[in-house]
Amino acid sequence: MPGLADEPIEIDIPLVRRLIAAQFPRWADLPVRPVAHGGWDNRTFHLGDQMTVRLPSAAQYALQVEKEQRWLPKLAPQLPLPIPTPLALGGPGEGFPWRWSVYQWIEGDPARKERIPDLNEFAGTLAGFLNALRRIDAEGGPAPGPHNFFRGASPAVYDDETRRALDLLKGRIDTAAATEVWERALASQWEQAPVWFHGDVAWGNLLLHDGRLSAVIDFGTSGVGDPACDLAIAWTLLEGESREVFRDALSLDRDTWARGRGWTLWKALILVAGIGGAVPAEVEKAWKTLDEVLADHARSG
């Protein structure tokens, strides 16, 4: 997600029904109901029992629709876990201004920590998925840009926003340590060929079956570039031994991990500083993430 988003337009069941009836009449008789965790960047609805309708909630998210339609079918056969399968591409209509997608439904529960009995196994499986993603030929893939809020580029793209948050948080956090984390992140760049990354490896985009990682969804911020942005999960969900399992399995250098801490720090800072548009529960989690990042930085030296 970006630091700040446009005000979303109203997207509801009647709109989805009108779009389906007008553009995909073969599915017009199927029931439509909201998905329990339908997301913010996009609104997601069940279409019958086997499909979902996914509509971008603002103009900046609409840039992701054609990217996913083009690239997800190419990525899927080369990955060890299921990812979304596009079934149809919808267009503007019925008062909705952007393109949108119909996907095959993937069953699973969002990866909340309390649902994961073996966090070490989860960390290893996730690392294996990200390793496989990085190995896929990135030729012609989408470079960082507005479509993914510059994930895969240097975190320096958010330098002004981060510095503003640090100023707002003086006296509330260890700003000297946080500044050190940030400047360490800006001191290097990805020196290798661009690789595929997911861009939003968060608990809500990781699905579980019987407590094990079973699918990865929402590739809206995916692209090719620096994979450091995919490391945030190390501090937002993993901890202790499971973080080390994840770190060891990925085999990325210290500089990449430093940039990963930078990406994670930026997001936590803007949330706790009140410039990220977050709800209270997200702010509480961001405080915990901030503590984890600063503590891990101190240990890493």
Chain segment 2-17, per-residue pLDDT in tens: 333 445 578 999 999 9
The pair of three-digit structure tokens given for residue 250, joined into one six-digit string: 């990925």
Give tens-digit pLDDT for 124-174: 999 999 999 999 999 999 999 999 999 999 999 999 999 999 999 999 999
Q: How far is residue 80's CA from residue 69's CA, in Å, rounded to a whole number?
A: 20
8-state DSSP, 8: P
Q: Are residues 59 and 119 part of one domain?
A: no
**Domain, as residue range, for 20:** 13-104
The pair of three-digit structure tokens given for residue 12, joined into one six-digit string: 């509801």
Query: Which of these ranges, 36-40, 67-71, 155-159, 212-216, has the smallest mean pLDDT?
Result: 36-40
Of the candidates 56, 44, 63, 42, the one whose C-alpha atom is nearest the C-alpha of residue 105 is 44
Please state, in angstroms and as integers, the Cα–Cα distance from residue 247 to each residue in 26, 226, 231, 268, 296, following that order: 47, 16, 9, 20, 12
Among candidate residues 59, 79, 104, the one where a domain is terminated: 104
What residue type is 253 in one-letter code?
D
Q: Are residues 86 and 154 part of one domain?
A: no
Q: Which helix (H) or strand (E) holds 141?
A: none
Separation of CA 137 from chain center: 21
pLDDT of residue 3: 36
The pair of three-digit structure tokens given for residue 237, joined into one six-digit string: 């969900």
What residue type is 266 in one-letter code?
W
Percent of the chain with pLDDT over 70: 96
Among candidate residues 53, 85, 104, the one where a domain is terminated: 104
Q: Residue 162 belongs to a domain with what CATH number?
A: 3.90.1200.10
Number of H helices, E strands in the chain: 9, 10
Separation of CA 9 from chain center: 21
pLDDT above 70 for 186? yes
8-state DSSP, 178: H
Number of domains in the chain: 2
Q: Are residues 133 and 79 part of one domain?
A: no
Q: Are residues 157 and 291 part of one domain?
A: yes
Give φ, ψ of 123 to 5 degrees: -60, -40
pLDDT of residue 4: 37
pLDDT of residue 36: 82
Instruction: Give me the count of residues in the chain.
Output: 301
Contact 205, 44 (CB under 8 A): no
Q: Are residues 206 and 125 part of one domain?
A: yes
Query: Which of these ranges, 150-164, 198-212, 267-281, has the smallest mean pLDDT?
Result: 267-281
8-state DSSP, 55: E
Among candidate residues 104, 136, 155, the one where a domain is terminated: 104
Q: Which helix (H) or strand (E) holds 39?
A: none
Contact 157, 150 (CB under 8 A): yes
Q: How far is residue 29's CA from residue 104's CA, in Å, rounded to a whole number?
A: 17
pLDDT of residue 276: 74
How sure is the predictor about 39, in pLDDT bands with cuts at 50, 70 and 90?
A: low
Q: What is the pTM of this model?
A: 0.94
Q: Are residues 246 and 195 part of one domain?
A: yes
For 51-71, what is the mean pLDDT? 96
For 270-286, what is the mean pLDDT? 90
Per-position b or e across 122-146, b if 16+ CB within 10 A of its CB: bbbbbbbbbeebbebebeebbebee
Give tens-digit pLDDT for 67-108: 999 999 999 999 999 999 999 999 999 999 999 999 999 999
* 4 within some domain: no
8-state DSSP, 96: B
